[in-house]
Amino acid sequence: MTSSVNTSTLFRLALVALLLFPAFSAVPPQSSATTVCQYTQFPSFCRSTIPINNSTANVYDYGRFSVRKSISSAHKFATLIDKLLHRSSTLTTGAIRALQDCQYLAGVNIDFLTNAFQTVGKSQTALSTMKSDDIQTMLSAILTNTQTCIDGIQATASSWTSKNGVLAPLANDNKLYSVSLSLFNRGWGVKNPKKRSTTPHKKHIGFKNGRLPLKMSERTRAIFETVGRRKLLQSDDGGDEVVVSDIVVVSQDGSGNFTTITDAINIAPNKSVAADGYFLIYVTAGVYEEYVNIPKNKYYLMMIGDGINQTVITGNRNVVDGWTTFNSATFIVTAPNFVAVNVTIRNTAGAIKHQAVALRNGADLSTFYSCSFEGYQDTLYTHSLRQFYRECDIYGTVDFIFGNAAAVFQNCNLYPRLPMSGQFNAITAQGRTDPGQNTGIVVQNCNIRAADDLGSTKTYLGRPWKEYSRTIYMKTFMDSLIEGAGWREWSGDFALNTSYYAEFDNTGPGSNTSGRVTWLGFHVINATDAVSFTTSSFVMGDEFLPQTGVPYNGGL
């Protein structure tokens, strides 16, 4: 008879396998709804929602049906939000702002679902690793967007009588999107992903020979040469160089093309392709008091400043003053393939204003290199999709890196600072809500040290914001400010067994795992497990980072 200890161990191992990577084992070519739906988070809902009465139906048919139904539901919800906003005179400012967030997010969901259906609507075979990850990323983001809408509505004034009329359909939509994600993973997911390279990659910012813009004004050429001399854009060891289509200069003294960053963004081309190269905005030294928003149609935009604490973008929006967390950010980017280098982004609202975001990033395949993010609570909102941060400084207090992207922080400095009286610090609050999402926060080869003002504040590696929260620290230096338990509860026993928190080969006085929490969700992992969270594997870094010129290590 198996001992209870062994049974517990087997259960734990099975749970870890599910939380790490949802299974992609084959479903019979012809399957009933009952058979297919057992692989989802909501089997009963799945069976009642996908009533395909066809003996020849397979997992691809069910998957396509669920995505089509998801598109219909997303359109209905967008219409509902539009109607509510037309009656906004009866709503509080907070409710209006939350609904405006929902309106935007619903539109993004429609785009993502439409794109996903273009793939699943004509394929009945497993996809390439990159294509499969693309679709899984979009379907994961749809769930994140819906949850963001729910969180915003729940945080608005309790006097809003229409709240339940929005939350109820959202709850059903979330189940449907979860089913779509599960069925996609089951049918089109890569079942045996090829082992990706773990070789370090050394890339440098630079222009590619022969691909300079053919029509370059003398002033633009002078700027290129000046920037090149600063080695912001110049390869120094034969590494890959960056293709740039055009350069504009932002300078507050009027000597450039524009005096504000927003004006430069507005003239950038829409929906560029990789072959066109980056549209480069060079922002000279100065403090720019403006709220920057790089919209989703400004593909392949690169922004380079004069350095951390030289080119500074600053604002002070916050929740206490009536903004939603989602729209409190000083800098917002949703355009894919965005790159930022040598800039500081601040939210100066202070600890007393609670949630106040410096950067909100919902840009797929985005990269931040040698940047600084400064705030207190909720400094860096890694909202959704795939993101990479290299050699960045991040300052904050409560949950200061949070969100539900697949985000890798490599060779960065994390600086917990002094919060409000009575508060503790949590470096991360990851927001994964579904085990099928390919999301999480990875902190690799970074340094965690106290900011100058921290004092004796209790500081933890993270806490579970959502049920399947996932955060991994690898080869990172942890100074003595980290509490021995390492991790902190969110509320009671919420998500302690379903989260995935892992540590691998960390160093420093705060890295000792002997006194760590004993939750089922906490693990000390080995190299075999850790390689799954490398830049090459977790965010498909080899597919998009070489063209940015940013240095990165694809492996451990």
Give the tens place of pLDDT for each residue, 438-478.
Answer: 999 999 999 999 999 999 999 999 999 999 999 999 999 99
Cα separation of 178 and 169, whole Å?
Answer: 14
Crossing angle of helices 163-187 and 129-154, rounded to 10°: 170
What is the 8-class DSSP label of residue 353? Answer: G
**Average pLDDT over all residues of the chain:** 87
Residue 211: per-residue pLDDT: 37
The CATH H-level superfamily of 283-548 is: Single-stranded right-handed beta-helix, Pectin lyase-like (2.160.20.10)
| H helical segments located in 188-284 | 218-229, 261-266
13-17, 121-125, 376-380, 457-461: least confident range: 13-17
Q: Which two tokens stand for residue 401?
A: 């890196």
Q: What is the DSSP string of 123-168?
A: --SPPPHHHHHHHHHHHHHHHHHHHHHHHHHHTS-TT-TTHHHHHH
What is the 8-class DSSP label of residue 195? Answer: P
Rounded percentage of the chain residues whose pLDDT exceeds 70 = 83
Catalytic residues: 399
Residue 245: per-residue pLDDT: 85
- Check pLDDT > 90 for residue 126: no
Give bridge partners of residue 408 from the DSSP assignment. 388, 442
- Longest CA–CA span in the chain (Å) reads 83
Cβ neighbours around 53 below 10 Å, total: 7
Task: For residue 208, name the pLDDT band (cuts at 50, 70, 90).
Answer: very low
Cα separation of 190 and 415, whole Å?
Answer: 38
Task: For residue 87, name the pLDDT band (cuts at 50, 70, 90).
Answer: confident
Domain extent listing, the chain: 33-190, 283-548
Torsion of CA 419, 425, 428, 430, to 10 degrees: -90
pLDDT tens for 18-47 read 444 454 444 445 566 678 899 899 999 998
Cβ-proximal residues to 226 (8 Å cutoff; 6+ apart), any chain: none
Q: Which two tokens stand for residue 373?
A: 């993010």
Task: For residue 532, name the pLDDT band (cuts at 50, 70, 90).
Answer: very high
Residue written as tokens 């087997």? 10
Residue written as tokens 């400064």? 374
Q: Side chain identity at 242, as an amino acid letter?
A: V
Which fold is adopted by the domain 33-190?
Answer: Butyryl-CoA Dehydrogenase, subunit A; domain 3 (1.20.140)
Would you call 503 helix, strand, or coil by DSSP?
strand
Closest CA to 470 of 407, 548, 551, 517: 407
